Amino acid sequence: MSSRRPDFDRYPELQRSWDRRNFIKSAAVGATMMAAGGALLRIATDDLTKSARAEKRADGRVRLPPGQRVLEFLRPMGGDEGDGDARTFKLKVHGLVKTPFEVDYAGLLKLPQVTKQADVHCVTGWTMLGGLWKGVQISALAELAGMKSEARYVIFESAHGFTSNAPLKEATADDALITYRLNGKPFALEHGAPVRGLVPDLYFWKSAKWITGVKFVKDDEPGYWEVRGYNNHADPWKEQRYA
């Protein structure tokens, strides 16, 4: 068939064939472009991964833990979602503290705010580098509540009874937050909206989504994934993925 458009007024029976021809042609072009785009994305991802493996953190560890590959965005990882509504959000700070308290979303924003750059590492093998996370430091919550000296662990409580546990050292590090913004934008529901935890020096499942509470305890309390075979500490640089 000629590449010129037929005279459909004179030959209406050709319209269907012409439409099918153009559909197939467009689909082929689209598939080629998608394949090229995918190849370019893989090249960019490989370059980011290679670069991160050559970098060092301030503590001397390589920036990219072993077994990880860099992605540019957070990947949805499922879970029982909370309602995602800032109007109903409440965060309870309790446990081994002198003055337990509860704060709503507006109250959270009135607490001292920080923005920290941090990488996050998923146990499934992907890493997102250099996110700008805004929120309240867990160490600030500990100070505000008057955390007692015998506290050794932090338990993050979330919607539907989900919990994750973290040693006090990692959970109160400078970049460990109760966070509500990433790169200036609120979280999508699938990423924990309206507020989630952030403990960047442990595998990302420790950074509980749809968070409802922060509890300081003396004795460790393995969380949802920990009692199901995931490593209790979850250090990415030691590849502590599973028990």
Residue extents of the structural domains in the chain? 12-54, 69-238
Spatial CB neighbours of 132, under 8 Å, sequence gap ≥ 6: 115, 116, 117, 181, 182, 183, 184
Q: What is the pTM of this model?
A: 0.81
Q: Which CATH code for domain 69-238?
A: 3.90.420.10
For residue 106, the SS3 value is helix
What does the pLDDT profile of the chain (243 residues) look like in tens digits?
A: 445 666 656 665 565 665 556 544 544 445 444 444 444 445 557 888 999 999 999 999 999 999 999 999 999 999 999 999 999 999 999 999 999 999 999 999 999 999 999 999 999 999 999 999 999 999 999 999 999 999 999 999 999 999 999 999 999 999 999 999 999 999 999 999 999 999 999 999 999 999 999 999 999 999 999 999 999 999 999 999 998
